[in-house]
Structure 1
Amino acid sequence: MSDFRTAVLFGAVVTSGLGAGLFYAYACSVMPGLARSDDRSFVEAMREINVAILNGWFMLSFLGPLALIVLAAALEPRGGGRAALVWLAAAAAFQLAVLVITGVANVPLNNRLAAAGSAESATDLAAVRSAFESAWVRWNLIRALASTASFACVSWALFLSARTPIPDH
Structure 2
Amino acid sequence: MGFYQIIQIIAVSLTGLAAGLFYSYACSVTGGLGKLSDREYLMAFQSINNVILNAWFFTSFMGSLVVLPAVTWFSYNAGINFSFWLFLSATVIYVVGVFGVTIFGNVPLNNMLESTNLNTASLQELFSLRERFEASWNKLNLIRTIAAVVSFIIAVIASILK
SS of 1:91 mapped into structure 2: helix
Query: How far is the alpha carbon of 1:66 from its aligned partner?
Result: 2.4
Query: How far is the alpha carbon of 1:90 from its aligned partner?
Result: 0.4
Query: How far is the alpha carbon of 1:15 from its aligned partner?
Result: 0.5
Q: Indicate conservation of the 8 Å contact 2:19/2:149, yes or no.
A: yes
Q: Which amino acid aligns with 1:89?
A: L
Question: What are the ranges of 5 or more consecutive residues in structure 2 without an aligned counterpart?
Answer: none
TM-score by length of 1: 0.90
Query: How far is the alpha carbon of 1:110 from its aligned partner?
Result: 0.3
Greater Rg by CA: 1
Q: 2:27 — aligned with what? A: 28
Q: Which amino acid aligns with 2:28?
A: S
RMSD: 1.2
Question: What are the ranges of 5 or more consecutive residues in structure 1 without an aligned counterpart?
Answer: 165-169
Take 1:65 and 1:157, find their aligned partners in 2: how far apart are those partners? Answer: 15
Q: Which amino acid aligns with 2:13?
A: V
- Once the two structures are superposed, residues 34-53 of structure 1 have per-residue CA deviations (whole angstroms, 9 ceiling, x without a partner) of 00011111000000111111
**Percent identity of equivalent pairs:** 36
Report how many residues are paired. Answer: 159
- Once the two structures are superposed, residues 44-100 of structure 1 have per-residue CA deviations (whole angstroms, 9 ceiling, x without a partner) of 000011111111110111111121111112222534x61110000000011101111
Q: 1:167 — aligned with what? A: none
SS of 1:37 mapped into structure 2: coil
- Once the two structures are superposed, residues 93-130 of structure 1 have per-residue CA deviations (whole angstroms, 9 ceiling, x without a partner) of 11101111011110000000111223212211111111
TM-score by length of 2: 0.94
Q: 1:143 — aligned with what? A: 144
Structure 1 stretch 116-125 or stretch 53-62: which is displaced more?
116-125
Structure 1 residue 106 corresponds to structure 2 residue 110? no
- Once the two structures are superposed, residues 113-163 of structure 1 have per-residue CA deviations (whole angstroms, 9 ceiling, x without a partner) of 111223212211111111100000000000000011110111111101xxx
Q: 1:125 — aligned with what? A: 126
Q: 1:5 — aligned with what? A: 4
Q: Which amino acid aligns with 1:65?
A: S
